[in-house]
Amino acid sequence: MCGIFGVLSSNLPNNVNSLMNNALSTLRHRGPNDSGVWSDLSSGVVLGHTRLSILDLTVAGHQPMVSLSGRYIIIFNGEIYNHQSLRKELQKIKNEFIWKGGSDTETLLACFDTWGVEKTFKKIVGMFAIALWDVKKRKLILSRDRFGEKPLYYGYSSGLFVFSSELKAIKAMPNFHGEINRDALSNYLRYLYVPTPQCIFNGLSKLEAGTWIEISLNQVGNHQLPDPKVYWSALEQAIIGENSPIEFSSDEEAINKLDYLLSSSIKGQMLSDVPLGAFLSGGVDSSTIVALMQSQSKFPVQTFSIGFDEKGFNEAQYAKSVAKHLGTNHTELYVQSQDAIDVIPSLSEIYDEPFADASQIPTYLVSKLAKSSVTVALSGDGGDELFGGYNRYFFANGPWKKIEYIPLVLRKYLARAIVSVSPSKWDSLYRTIQSILPAYYNRSQVGSKIHKVASIVGCSNEEELYHRLTQLCNPSDFVLGLNNEPLLNTSWSKISHPISQMMVADATNYLVDDILVKVDRAAMSVSLETRVPLLDHRIYEFASQLPYNYKFRNGTGKWILKELLYRYVPKTLIDRPKMGFGIPIDEWLRGPLREWGSDLLNPARLKNEGYLNHIAINKKWDKHMSGSENHGLFLWGVLMFESWLEENKF
């Protein structure tokens, strides 16, 4: 795992060496073991790299690296899991290959020399952000892996074309002035993350997953940005899967196929020259990964989990039981609320853009715990998006089907009638009848939930339903100076089944820009490499071709993944309600974080900044503080932006 940074310009500054040193110093956490710079000032290109040594710990793995032909120079962040099989394939084509070392970087360069750029991207299996200088064409090539596991920002700053693993390096450049992209801010408040290709700063973008760009000095001189070229698309694979589902002779055959694919992925991702382990929450996804890891290991796999005293947020006991059954070398750490709260001041530095998935805190803590023993950790992310684990899929396939039968005009009228009564009045009404209801129906914040249901009832179709279920607010109520309010690009019309539509939208948006960002930044802040075996593209392609009854059966999702897990772990250790990996943010805002939140949301401060509607936000804050309404997630999002803004004043 590494950090990359580079500049392309016909007018490189005289202090380019100092510029590179400053930029790379900000990426040292991504690559603490080594660093290097390559430049061709006559061509206007400078490439910088910081290295976290994982494969081939010798100088033979040093980057930037030049290909055997001399045509390509590469800086590379990530891992190529099939690089050994690629070497064998290359040897058959050209037997005179003489390898200097065992790094996948050297393998990559040999692939580019042999097959060219696009064919290589299609052949490699891995996670990566690659910058490649083509000496012959005098062009810079940037590429990102199929799911966007590794980050890559690019664009123009101070007249220079720049790219980097993280915004920190770009912000370190002289004369950087970060102008806030208000449309990106709008989407951030809507989803609690900034979706690709947007960036929080104007003039910069995030390269889309599964794409590559090629840019020349002439284009840079004209301040142009080329359109990304697609070498792999989750959407296109989902379309193929829907049109040509796999037929199995039995359930056993389907489970065996998944077992083979996932075991193969894990085998490739267990390749490491440094200590390796796994995160273990005790849920289906992480337990499956660990079970298959242990089945292939001669020694106990090192596993790690974080526990909380708050019962509703603690899965550590389940992880411990799974670890004991599998025989892993398990480490758990119970943290107090204050331990988690102490992480908050560092979040804006860890996450370059505003980011407000509150599970970022336990993710950082478990990464820090794992780093004390290993340098690489496998995670179970991706199972929900690939095999159908989110509640919204069931709502779309169940209650929504019944709601749709009610005429839209009537539903919209009903929705207006419901929201005409305030959440606090609904709460009051509920309290009058609560005593006669069975204990099962005891609920909190009933009024807020009723209002949420009302917003869904009035939806015109499944696409609107998805946006209502996934967005937190209407940004126009809170963000000042908006140009427009772009929604996520869901490509809804290209897929017929509503659940498939939702799953693809999640796989190409929420997974990429929330889940994977959360894990990458948290782990890399402590120099820990994370790997995600479920996101081998061949597993995604298989999952896309699965008939629905292999994902959804007996009122539950991820059926086939669970059945695979039950081969290794008893049902009794796994079957329980989905908990997630969160923190009690609602209560903390009313308690230990109240003073911090009040300071950041000071009306005069918000008004002076000029980004957010201070009146509307403070109304939310006051209602949350009083306990009459629950706005914890929204307020956390606002507070994370304000905290980030405090760290990014230019």
pLDDT in tens, 408-453: 889 888 888 888 887 778 878 877 887 776 655 566 667 777 887 7
399-403, 592-596, 620-624, 639-643: range with lowest mean pLDDT? 399-403
**Nearest residue to 642 via CA among 606, 590, 592, 588:** 606
Closest CA to 399 of 456, 451, 444, 455: 456
Dist CA 169 CA 591 (whole Å): 36
What pLDDT was estimated at residue 336? 84
8 Å CB contact between 513 and 381: no
Name the helix (H) or strand (E) containing 204: strand 204-206
- Is there a contact between 197 and 207 (Cβ–Cβ < 8 Å)? yes
* Angstrom distance (rounded) from CA 413 to CA 386: 37
* Greater pLDDT, 450 or 512: 512
pLDDT value of residue 322? 96
Amino acid in the structure at residue 553: R
For helices 234-243 and 498-505, give the axis angle rounded to 10 degrees.
Answer: 160
Task: Please check whether residue 511 is in contact with residue 195, taking contact to mean a CB–CB distance below 8 angstroms.
Answer: no
| Alpha carbons 448 and 89: distance in angstroms, whole number | 59
For the stretch 268-320, pLDDT in tens is 999 999 999 999 999 999 999 999 999 999 999 999 999 887 666 667 889 99
Beta strands in 336-447 (DSSP E): 376-378
Asked if residues 285 and 561 have their Cβ atoms less than 8 Å apart, the reply is yes
Q: How confident is the model at residue 492 (pLDDT cuts 50, 70, 90)?
A: confident
pLDDT at 580: 59
What's the confidence (pLDDT) of residue 575? 85
421 with 451: CB under 8 angstroms? no
Residue 159 has pLDDT above 80, yes or no: yes
Whether 603 and 622 have beta carbons less than 8 Å apart is answered as no
Residue 599: pLDDT above 90?
yes
Length of the chain: 650
Interatomic CA distance for residues 408 and 625, integer angstroms = 36
Q: What is the mean pLDDT of residues 159-170?
A: 96
334-346 burial string, b = 16+ CB within 10 Å, else e?
ebebeebbebbee
Of the given ranges (94-103, 206-215, 246-255), which has the lowest mean pLDDT?
94-103
Separation of alpha carbons 274 and 17, rounded Å: 32
Is the whole-model pTM more than 0.85? yes
Task: State both tokens at 162.
Answer: 């720049």
- Is the pLDDT score of 124 beyond 80? yes
What is the reported pLDDT for 172? 93
Arithmetic mean of pLDDT, 251-259: 98
pLDDT > 70 in the chain, percent? 96
As given in the structure block, the two tokens for residue 295 are: 């089945």
Least confident span in 96-110, 407-421, 476-490, 625-639: 476-490
The pLDDT of residue 3 is: 97
Q: With 90 as the cut, is the pLDDT of residue 516 above it?
A: yes
The mean pLDDT value of the chain amounts to 92
Structure tokens at 200: 């929080």
Give the three-state DSSP class for 590. helix
520's CB contacts (< 8 A; 6+ apart) are 149, 150, 151, 530
pLDDT of residue 556: 87
Determine the 3-state secondary structure of 298 from DSSP.
coil
SS3 263: helix
Least confident of 34-38, 96-100, 618-622: 96-100
Does 155 or 14 have the greater pLDDT score? 155
Asked whether 404 and 555 are in contact (CB, 8 A), the reply is no
What's the pLDDT at 490?
Answer: 73
46-50, 203-207, 490-494, 610-614: range with lowest mean pLDDT: 490-494
What would the mean pLDDT of 561-584 be, rounded to a whole number?
85
Q: Using a CB cutoff of 8 Å and minimum separation of 24, what contacts does 350-353 make?
A: 350/521, 350/522, 350/525, 351/517, 351/521, 351/644, 352/153, 352/166, 352/167, 352/168, 352/521, 353/167, 353/188, 353/193, 353/194, 353/199, 353/200, 353/644
> Which of 16-20, 461-465, 517-521 shows the lowest mean pLDDT across its residues?
461-465
Q: Are 204 and 153 in contact (CB under 8 A)?
A: yes
What is the model's pLDDT at position 445?
62
pLDDT score, position 650: 67
Q: pLDDT category, 402, cuts 50, 70, 90? A: confident
Rounded Cα distance, 293 and 290, in Å: 5
Residue 1 has pLDDT above 80, yes or no: no
CA distance 25 to 50: 9
Question: b or e along 399-430 (b: 16 or more beta carbons within 10 Å of the residue's beta carbon)?
Answer: ebeebeeeeeeebeeebeebeeeebeebbeeb
- Given this model, what pLDDT does residue 577 score? 67
Range in 14-28, 226-240, 414-428 the model is least confident about:
414-428
At 330-370, the pLDDT tens digits run 999 998 888 889 999 999 999 999 999 999 999 999 999 99
